[in-house]
Amino acid sequence: MFGMKVDDVTEAPDEIKVTTTGATFILYKRSNGEIQCYQRIGEERLAASMILHASLKDLTIDWSDEESCFLMRPVTDLGTGVRINADSTLSIRSDGSVKKISYIGEWTPAYKAVEQGNFLFMDEKGGVGAYPLKFGKYRTSTTRARFSKKGWQVSLSFSGERILTSVFPPRQFDWDKSFNDRIVHHFFSHPAGKPWNPYPRNDELEEYSKWGNILALHWWQHGFLTRRGEGVQSREELIHNSPWSSFHPVPVNYDEMKRTVSKAHQLGMRVIVYMTSFYHPGEPDEFVNEVDSVVRRFQLDGIYIDGVSNDVLRAYTVMRGLRKMLGNKILFVHVPSPIIGKYDRDYVYCPFIETYADYTLKAEHIFTFDWKHLRYTISGYNISNSIGYVCNYDYEPKFTKWLIKQSLKANARLLYWVGFDAYVEERQKIIGRKYYPLELSRKLVREEYFPELDAVQMQHTRSHPSEIQSRPC
């Protein structure tokens, strides 16, 4: 699925070897339960050795296909179950015999984050992370990590039921998509003396098509109090009736929705619309079904999700479900806050979840950037290998200039923001920051970012002529 699969599963008397697109796992049938985790993309290397301190002597293959491989050690009714997914994530379900897990890596991480028993280590080539899942009475103690010039070691006291280990990147980076797909994010139109409109006018769409080939519609659906009305008469009405928790999304205006999609398609743009899993009142499968219904009903080219979940397992379930349903259609995911930890320092996040997105969007309203925020938390390159975008609609021009250069250096991208002007002006007033008209940012994107992106594309094409196709006109 999405360029990831289980390539091969072999069993020998003393080991089981499972190869996915992005990793190879060798599980040794020994009393100490050693598992070697090899990275295949970015650089072929031993990413980590795991010692379970519990026996895997009776481990055997139960079932495998292109999406998953299931291994079982049937000691009790539950036993010890091992599942390896196509996204290079290894899941261990314990019957209680696995109480401690040691990880050893013979490389030096450039980014190190340990949070709530989870850890994430990575460098320019890839990395590894571990995520103990908590159910009911089960808890996981704080992970202890040690670093040296030769590498690192982690000791994890495991009292939970399941732990995930992710080796990444799980799939190849799509260079063609990273250069050719350019997203225009539309908030709402507000012509003088007329109602605020969540749908762009035809002349606006014609202008947008000069700068992007994907149109993201942010506020296209009804809120709670406007269902009986004829539309929104002011920005305040639009904001206060926003559809954060609507189970079944309904367009503000069906005819306008259809016009927008039709006109954008005529102009060669693909259209995606905003929905949110985080606030949706339904279960993961119900949210996926609602997305499917919206995409089919309005002949959309994908979806823009603002928030997935603050629970690792639910987020993983939603993202896998969306990708399976969407196929090759667009999945653009805004991550306004991490599932684990906080943005204001090195934090643990989940590359195995983000890899199901074509693009991720991060760093909203953050003014304290450093290289790690760009390279190791925004850019997905050699991490999830989704294409990382950075929020850039409320930054001063000087900072945006810096952001353009650093983002391209990190293989991250910038959006073309339209219709956010009134929102940004109001927000800057509230927090006491100077307001810079959004057109200044758009001008920098047009005059500096796009030409530099084209130059990077040309340079990459010369170095890797087989990887890149020309951008459609």
Confidence of residue 242 (pLDDT cuts 50, 70, 90): low
Can you give the pLDDT at residue 233?
52
Q: Which of 111-120, 289-298, 353-362, 459-468 shows the lowest per-residue confidence on average (mean pLDDT)?
A: 459-468
Confidence of residue 227 (pLDDT cuts 50, 70, 90): very low
Mean pLDDT (whole number) for 156-161:
74
Q: Give, to the nearest 10 degrees, the angle between helix 450-463 and helix 397-409.
A: 10
Nearest Cα neighbor of 277 from 335, 328, 364, 222 is: 335
| 399-450 residue pLDDT tens | 999 999 999 999 999 999 998 887 788 888 888 888 899 999 999 999 999 9
SS (H, E, C) 53-85: CCCCCCCEEEEECCCEEEEEECCCCCCEEEEEE
Q: Which of 78-87, 232-241, 316-325, 418-427 shows the lowest per-residue confidence on average (mean pLDDT)?
A: 232-241
User: How much of the chain exceeds pLDDT 70, in percent?
Assistant: 87
> What is the value of pTM for the model shown?
0.92
Residue 326, Ramachandran bin (φ over 0: left; ψ between -120 and 50: alpha; else beta): alpha
Can you give the pLDDT at residue 236?
60
Could you tell me if 419 and 187 are in contact, meaning their C-beta atoms sit under 8 angstroms apart? yes
pLDDT at 246 over 50: yes
Can you tell me the distance from the alpha carbon of 71 to that of 314, in angstroms, rounded to the nearest whole number? 23
Confidence of residue 113 (pLDDT cuts 50, 70, 90): very high
Residue-range domains of the chain with CATH: 6-168 (2.70.98.10), 175-463 (3.20.20.70)
The first and second tokens of residue 221, run together, are 């659906």
Can you give the pLDDT at residue 228?
40
Can you tell me the distance from the alpha carbon of 417 to that of 438, in angstroms, rounded to the nearest whole number? 8
Could you tell me if 95 and 76 are in contact, meaning their C-beta atoms sit under 8 angstroms apart? yes
Could you tell me if 333 and 387 are in contact, meaning their C-beta atoms sit under 8 angstroms apart? no
Can you tell me the distance from the alpha carbon of 273 to that of 262, in angstroms, rounded to the nearest whole number? 14
Can you give the pLDDT at residue 219?
83
